[in-house]
Amino acid sequence: MTDTDTDTDTDTVPATTDSALEAALAAAAAAATDATPGERAARLDRIADALDAAGPELIPLAARETHLPERPRLAGELARTTFQLRLFAEVLREGRHLDAAVDHADPGWPMGARPDIRRVRIPIGPVLVFAASNFPFAFSVAGGDSAAALAAGCPVLLKAHPGHEELSRRTGEIVRAALADAGAPEGTFAVVHGVDAGVTALRDPRIAAAAFTGSVRGGRALFDIAAARPRPIPFYGELGSLNPVVVTPAAAAARGERIAQEFAGSFTLGAGQFCTKPGLLLVPEGHGMDEALVAAVGGTSAAPLLNDRIEAALRARLDTVATTPGVELLAEGTGDGPVPTLLRTDAATFRAAGARLHDECFGPVSLLVTYSGTDELVALLSELEPGLTATVQGEPSDAAAVGDLLPALVAVAGRLLWNQWPTGVTVSWAQQHGGPYPATTAPTTTSVGTAALERFLRPVAWQNFPDELLPDALREANPWQLPRRVDGVPTATG
């Protein structure tokens, strides 16, 4: 997800004072993290219930601050948010995320006698989450990163995005009240406001990990701060993505018009303000889709962007792309404000232009590039910055050629799609939302899906401990009935 989150303090909600920030950090550090998975699950369910109940208040507030439509968009996003909290609760009740392992003492272990050693993942500690501009619910106060960190058992400090500060303040109140009702300690969750508060917290030794969704520029600056700390911490940044779509010759011939319509729908969805917006449509020379694209994009309308800063940044970026020699306008939508715009060029121009054309445009803008064949396509893909997704629109008759293309696509993306569109990211067990930098700063992880909570756990081993001093997850009788690996053998409730 990317935007131009030049984060300036607004007047909506005052910036968090130094003393309030200190109190929040101290409370987070003091918040006990010894709840059982079942207790944590109940807290997540309680938050989800409270947010669902507050929908009639929160949705109009979000619409006012972000210009996004209440329905289906914001209502759907709130539903996604509460679903996500409940899915993490399910993960906790299963317990497999703890990766518990018990190796009993074994005098015959081939490398030498093995002691009794048992490992389980514990909460990494207080987590700082930077909210995104473009998902006021799903990647904000009670969004994916907060849900994952709370599920992991970590206290959360949430840095509100300035694009929806009043919503953030109010959502934070609801989350805090729900946590208190569910018996969570004070300090489990707090919302802070203002750039300075965010940066100060990121440097604070009590913060053990951070998560961010936003622009490459903003995310890199924060990543650099996290890496430069006396004690560096994991920084999970979800940054930029171009999301290339490859249309095969057979697909262009068989259903060019339908592809044009679906593509126009995808790159203008949410006014193009999605991290997974398809920003590059790669079509074969002689594709014959121009007319269909002009009609499809012509049928789309301008929609207000999230805020003035994003609109100004889009205009500047669009100007750069549109004035690149060899780039021309192919199609435009209608209406006032930032109209959906499709530009076009050829592969040689695109490849020679570098960042000028390869960088993301955050908004309803995309670029069509024609290619001559698989070789040129592979060369072009290998020059892209890695991103979150790569899509193929193909036909069964293309399977062999697409097979040749797949290694180049896998190299630059965390999720590959076939005959679907990258916008609309489901939350499920198999979801992967990540990729090599700059898709994310942590390519071994995901920020969407059940695996997202693993980012906030660290393993600890207990060697030769008496049973009564072991954490419950590792006791011989397995009181939590966890799935565990025992002496190398996975068991359902070992």
> Interaction with a copy of itself in 260-319: which residues (CB under 8 A)?
none
Tell the burial category of 328 from Cβ atoms under 10 Å away from its Cβ (0-12, 13-18, 19+): exposed
Q: Does 403 bind a copy of itself (CB under 8 A)?
A: yes
Q: Rounded to 5 degrees, what are φ and ψ at 483?
A: -65, 130
Cα separation, 416 vs 402, whole angstroms: 12
Contact pattern for a copy of itself over residues 231 through 260, marking x by CB under 8 A: xxxx--------------------------
Cα separation, 443 vs 437, whole angstroms: 7
- Catalytic, out of 77, 165, 238, 385: 238
DSSP 73: I
Q: Does 465 bind a copy of itself (CB under 8 A)?
A: yes
> What is the amino acid identity at position 318?
L
301 three-state secondary structure: strand
Tokens of 227: 């890496």
Q: Which CB, 21 or 427, lies closer to a copy of itself?
A: 427
Least gap, CB of 329 to a copy of itself (angstroms) = 31
Least gap, CB of 416 to a copy of itself (angstroms) = 5
Asked whether the beta carbons of 236 and 447 are under 8 A apart, the reply is: yes
Q: Which of 417, 453, 473, 482 binds a copy of itself (CB under 8 A)?
A: 417
Stretch that binds a copy of itself, among 103-111, 168-176, 329-337, 362-370 (CB under 8 A): 103-111
DSSP 479: T
- Is 238 part of the annotated catalytic residue set? yes
Q: 274, 269, 326: which is closest to 303 by C-alpha? A: 269
Stretch that binds a copy of itself, among 111-119, 164-172, 175-183, 353-361 (CB under 8 A): 111-119
Q: Which CB, 430 or 477, lies closer to a copy of itself?
A: 430
Asked whether the beta carbons of 456 and 123 are under 8 A apart, the reply is: yes
Q: Which of 42, 48, 124, 292 binds a copy of itself (CB under 8 A)?
A: 124
Q: Which CB, 117 or 295, lies closer to a copy of itself?
A: 117
Q: Does 358 bind a copy of itself (CB under 8 A)?
A: no
Number of residues that bind a copy of itself (CB under 8 A): 87
- Catalytic, out of 77, 165, 275, 376: 275
Q: Which CB, 44 or 305, lies closer to a copy of itself?
A: 44
Cα separation, 429 vs 312, whole angstroms: 38
Q: Does 355 bind a copy of itself (CB under 8 A)?
A: no
Q: Which of 223, 362, 371, 480 binds a copy of itself (CB under 8 A)?
A: 223
Q: Does 434 bind a copy of itself (CB under 8 A)?
A: yes
Q: Which of 67, 73, 114, 358 binds a copy of itself (CB under 8 A)?
A: 114
Length of the chain: 494
Cα separation, 321 vs 342, whole angstroms: 11
Q: Does 424 bind a copy of itself (CB under 8 A)?
A: yes
Strand pairing of 484-486 and 489-491?
A: antiparallel
Q: Does 110 bind a copy of itself (CB under 8 A)?
A: yes
Contact pattern for a copy of itself over residues 466 through 485, marking x by CB under 8 A: x-xx-------------x-x
Stretch that binds a copy of itself, among 52-60, 142-150, 362-370, 433-441 (CB under 8 A): 433-441
Which residues contact residue 41 at a Cβ distance below 8 angstroms, ignoring those fewer than 6 apart? 88, 89, 90, 92, 93
Tokens of 331: 């199609």
Q: Does 442 bind a copy of itself (CB under 8 A)?
A: yes
- Is 275 part of the annotated catalytic residue set? yes
Contact pattern for a copy of itself over residues 40 through 59, marking x by CB under 8 A: --------------------
Cα separation, 69 vs 400, whole angstroms: 43
Q: Which of 9, 20, 49, 117 binds a copy of itself (CB under 8 A)?
A: 117
Cα separation, 425 vs 452, whole angstroms: 14
CB-CB neighbours of 247 under 10 Å: 25
Q: Give per-residue burial for 62-98: e unless 16+ CB within 10 Å, then b.
A: bbebbebeeeebbbebbbbbbebbbbbbebbeebebb
Q: Does 416 bind a copy of itself (CB under 8 A)?
A: yes
Stretch that binds a copy of itself, among 37-45, 63-71, 263-271, 447-455 (CB under 8 A): 447-455
**Any idea which residues carry the catalytic annotation?**
238, 275
